[in-house]
């Protein structure tokens, strides 16, 4: 298993330790809390000095503790990262300090017992359960060592110490019967805080895993590539040898099987589709216990654990499906988890063979069930997008085929027939100049049609910076290729319109010029761009023969009457614009598109 997979599995087992930036933030917050605690303690002593008996030594210790906290805070702000050795050294000082101050105060039962709680909370924030318990045990051990020294090793040492520092040590507070309950309290607090820290780190680990796996869902990778990326992460996370996914489209009963094996050392494994038939649905999909199930086979005996959709354990009355699966796919242990996509459109099951995980099985199975619930719809969306793309590509290919068949192919057949006529006329010594001129015009017309078709198929990436130059070039090219006198006029220097509006304006202008060439018989054409404070407008005018109707019509009126340029009408709807067509038969046509700046189509009059 390569380094990435080892790291990923280890991060799952250790609940994904925080990154260096998060460690640094935690240490900063703890350092700030440490300084605040020291300042608050000095204020409390000032308000009630009886707790420390007016001892200058105790005041000095608290001042030293506060200075130490400020120094740690400054070091954390100056350094880019916090090392493990630095954190351990700071934590060791936090452990020693409560035990030390309890000697100079009213014993370990002093109100300054908050320092014990602070060091337990710091361990929980930094690490987890076992480190917090170890901190609690270390605190209790230090108190017992102090008790032993004060009661047995140096029972008369309090008098010289009192004479030197002015402190009165309350030895009775260090009696074993008092320390016992205090030690139990520390251990219980360490257990509770450590458990909360463990749960928080577990939730963070699961969130990081789900985010990482969902980031593998990419439309450009395709369905197979996406499933390969996701299942590789699942294999590495559970340390499994192989994975099989079985899915069935319910209405058509089609079965699909895919397999991915664990990657070899420094290698890469590919997800591959297997041959499947309808009978495989009985083997891979039916009669399995629960929504998620873990089963092992040892010494001719099955051991199973199955959970329902809510994560509760369920009985396993029938093991026939697992036995049949083991005959087809030999394994020692297997995890199965079912899924249902898009209501009742797709169903399936994922099989993870020979997993090697640590920790509680129920917890692992619940997480796997939650993982499939969240990742399944994302993978299904990739499938839908690719299916829509395939349909769009098929529709576009069919449209191009129709365009070529109805246009270029038919015209080329006509040219071939006319060339055959010319050949016969040439053999009979008849003049062929007019026929050649007609064929030349026909070929020129088909070249223009093919160029227009290619222009329609070409992807457009135009924004407000490029719209005017692209429109101007399109009009000039139209004039060169058709001989129609065309002009482009713009009343604005730089349009500030969204990219989608720019794109559709360009397409509308191109479609308008195509209609001028094909249908109008015009000698003059004009494309105009304008704008004001409320709207943008695009106008296409010509002096041709006009539409079959006369007058001024808006988009709704044209739709009701079934007249007007259909493609332009559809493009105007896409940008919430208003279309007006004014036709004067024999005199020309004027098409005007208005798009409001607020993105809302104006009401039609």
- Residue 9's pLDDT is what? 40
Mean pLDDT throughout 483-489?
Answer: 90
Q: Give the residue with greater pLDDT, 221 vs 294.
A: 294
Q: Is the pLDDT of residue 158 over 60?
A: no
For residue 15, count CB atoms less than 10 angstroms from its CB and return exposed for 0-12, middle for 13-18, buried for 19 or more.
buried
528 DSSP β-pair partners:
489, 539
The full set of domain ranges for the chain reads 3-212, 220-387, 459-596
DSSP assignment letter at 226: H
Instruction: Give phi and psi for 538, each to the nearest 5.
Output: -130, 130
What pLDDT digit, counting tens, does each position of 276-291 carry? 777 778 888 888 888 8
The model's pLDDT over 234-251, given as tens digits with 9 standing for 90+, comes to 888 888 889 999 988 888
Confidence category of residue 318, pLDDT binned at 50, 70, 90:
confident
* 404-419 average pLDDT score: 65
Helix (H) or strand (E) holding 165: helix 158-165
What percent of the chain clears pLDDT 70, i.e. is strictly above it? Answer: 76
CATH fold label, 459-596: Heat Shock Protein 90 (3.30.565)
Q: What architecture (CATH level 2) is domain 220-387? A: 2-Layer Sandwich (3.30)
89-147 pLDDT, tens digit per residue, is 888 888 887 877 776 665 555 666 778 888 888 888 888 888 888 888 888 888 888 77
Q: Two tokens at 320?
A: 């026939």
Mean pLDDT (whole number) for 544-571:
86
Report pLDDT for 18.
Answer: 57
Tell me the average pLDDT across 24-36.
83
Average confidence (pLDDT) over 301-308: 88
* Overall average pLDDT of the 44-53 stretch: 63
Return phi, psi of residue 589, to 5°: -135, 145
Range from 87-91, 182-186, 430-434 carrying the lowest mean pLDDT: 430-434
- CB crowding 325-359: b at 16 or more within 10 Å, else e: bbeeeebebbbbbbbbbeeeebbbbbbbbbbebee
524-531 and 485-490: which strand pairing?
A: parallel
Structure tokens at 589: 């046509």
The residue ranking higher by pLDDT, 600 or 105, is: 105
Give pLDDT, residue 171. 59
User: Picking from 44-53, 309-318, 336-345, 363-372, which range would have the lowest pLDDT averaged per residue?
Assistant: 44-53
Collect all residues with Cβ–Cβ distance below 8 Å to 322 and sequence separation of at least 6. 288, 295, 297, 302, 304, 334
CA angle 476, 481, 487 (to 5 degrees): 30
Query: What is the spatial distance between Cα 29 and Cα 32, in angstroms, rounded to a whole number?
Result: 5
pTM of the model: 0.55
User: Per residue, what are the HEC states of 57-85?
Assistant: HHHHHHHHHHHHHHHHHHHHHHCCCCCHH
Given a cut of 50, is residue 365 above it in pLDDT?
yes
Is the pLDDT assigned to residue 593 strictly greater than 90?
yes
Q: Is 317 helix (H, G, I), strand (E, B) or coil?
A: coil
Domains 220-387 and 459-596 share a fold: no
pLDDT of residue 4: 40
pLDDT in tens, 496-531: 888 888 888 888 888 888 888 877 888 899 999 998
């Amino acid at each position: 298993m390569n380094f990435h997979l080892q790291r990923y599995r280890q991060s799952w087992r250790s609940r994904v330790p925080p990154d260096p930036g998060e460690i640094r933030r935690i240490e900063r917050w703890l350092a700030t809390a440490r300084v605040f605690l020291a300042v608050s303690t000095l204020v409390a002593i000032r308000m009630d000095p009886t707790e420390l008996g007016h001892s200058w030594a105790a005041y000095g210790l608290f001042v030293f503790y506060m200075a130490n906290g400020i120094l740690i805070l400054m070091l954390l702000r100056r350094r880019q990262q916090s090392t493990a050795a630095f954190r351990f050294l700071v934590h060791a000082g936090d452990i020693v300090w409560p035990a030390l101050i309890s000697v100079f105060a009213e014993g370990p039962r002093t109100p300054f017992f908050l320092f014990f709680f602070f060091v337990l909370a710091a361990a929980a924030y930094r690490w987890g359960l076992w480190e917090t318990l170890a901190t609690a045990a270390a605190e209790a051990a230090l108190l017992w060592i102090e008790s032993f020294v004060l009661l047995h090793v140096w029972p008369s040492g309090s008098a010289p110490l009192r004479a030197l520092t002015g402190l009165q040590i309350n030895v009775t507070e260090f009696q074993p019967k008092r320390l016992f309950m205090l030690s139990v309290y520390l251990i219980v607090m360490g257990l509770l805080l450590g458990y909360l820290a463990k749960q928080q780190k577990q939730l963070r680990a699961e969130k990081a895993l789900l985010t990482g796996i969902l980031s593998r869902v990419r439309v450009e990778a395709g369905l197979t590539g996406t499933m390969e990326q996701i299942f590789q992460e699942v294999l590495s996370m559970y340390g499994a040898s192989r994975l099989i996914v079985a899915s069935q489209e319910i209405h058509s009963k089609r079965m699909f099987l895919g397999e991915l094996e664990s990657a070899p050392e420094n290698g890469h494994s590919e997800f591959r589709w297997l041959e499947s038939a309808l009978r495989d649905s009985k083997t891979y999909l039916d009669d399995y216990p629960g929504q998620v199930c873990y089963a092992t086979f040892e010494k001719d005996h099955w051991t199973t654990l199955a959970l329902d959709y809510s994560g509760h354990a369920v009985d396993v009355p029938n093991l026939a499906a697992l036995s049949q699966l083991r005959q087809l796919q030999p394994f020692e242990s297997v995890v199965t988890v079912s899924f249902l996509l898009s209501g009742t459109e797709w169903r399936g099951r994922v099989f993870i063979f020979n997993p090697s995980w640590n920790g509680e099985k129920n917890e692992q199975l619940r997480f796997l069930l939650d993982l499939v619930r969240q990742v399944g719809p994302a993978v299904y969306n990739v499938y839908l997008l690719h299916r829509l793309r395939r349909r769009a590509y098929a529709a576009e290919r069919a449209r191009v085929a129709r365009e070529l068949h109805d246009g270029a192919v038919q015209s080329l057949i006509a040219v071939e027939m006319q060339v055959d006529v010319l050949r016969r006329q040439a053999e009979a010594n008849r003049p062929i100049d007019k026929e050649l001129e007609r064929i030349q015009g026909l070929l020129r017309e088909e070249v223009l049609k093919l160029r227009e078709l290619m222009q329609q198929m070409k992807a457009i990436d135009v924004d407000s910076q490029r719209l005017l130059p692209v429109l101007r070039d399109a009009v000039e090219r139209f004039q060169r290729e058709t001989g129609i006198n065309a002009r482009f006029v713009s009343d604005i220097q730089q349009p500030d319109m969204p990219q989608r509006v720019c794109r559709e304006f360009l397409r509308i202008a191109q479609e308008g010029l195509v209609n001028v060439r094909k249908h109008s018989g015009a000698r003059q054409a004009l494309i105009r761009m304008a704008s004001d404070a409320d709207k943008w407008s695009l106008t296409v005018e010509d002096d041709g023969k006009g539409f079959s109707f006369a007058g001024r019509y808006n988009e709704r009126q044209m739709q009701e009457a079934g007249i007007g340029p259909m493609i332009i009408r559809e493009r105007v709807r896409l940008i919430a614009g208003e279309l007006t067509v004014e036709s004067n038969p024999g005199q020309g046509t004027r098409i005007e598109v208005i798009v409001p700046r607020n993105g809302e189509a104006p009401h039609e009059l």
